[in-house]
A and B are shown apart, each in its own frame.
Chain A
Amino acid sequence: MQHLADQACEGVCLNAIQINRIALALDELFANIHAHGYANQGGDIDCSAKWTGQEGKPCLLEIKLRDYAPAIQDITTCKGIDPETLKDHPVAGGLGLHLIYAITESFEHTPLEDGNQWCLLFNLKEEDTKT
Chain B
Amino acid sequence: MSLHIETEHAGKAASVTVKGDVTIQTSPELRNELQPLFSSDVEVVRVVLNGVEFMDSSGIATLVEGLQWSKISGGRFVLSGLSETVRDVFELAKLDTIFEIEG
- Identify which of B62, B85, B93 contacts A99 (C-beta below 8 A): B93
Chain A residues within 8 Å of B95, by CB: 83, 86
Is there a chain B Cβ closer than 8 Å to A20's Cβ? yes
Q: What count of chain B residues pass the 8 Å CB interface test?
A: 25
Q: Which of B3-11, B12-20, B41-49, B53-61 lies at the interface?
A: B53-61
Is there a chain A Cβ closer than 8 Å to B97's Cβ? yes
How far does the alpha carbon of A2 sit from the alpha carbon of B85 in the complex, in Å?
A: 13
Chain B residues within 8 Å of A16, by CB: 84-85
CB distance from A93 to the nearest CB of B (A): 5
How far does the alpha carbon of A103 sit from the alpha carbon of B85 in the complex, in Å?
A: 13
Across the two chains, which residue of chain B brings its CB closest to A16? B85
Chain B residues within 8 Å of A17, by CB: 84-85, 88
Is there a chain A Cβ closer than 8 Å to B64's Cβ? yes
A residues touching B (Cβ–Cβ < 8 Å)? 2, 16-17, 20-21, 23-24, 27-28, 31, 83-84, 86-87, 90-93, 95-96, 98-99, 102-103
B residues touching A (Cβ–Cβ < 8 Å)? 23-24, 53-54, 56-58, 60-62, 64-65, 67-68, 71, 84-85, 88-89, 92-95, 97-98
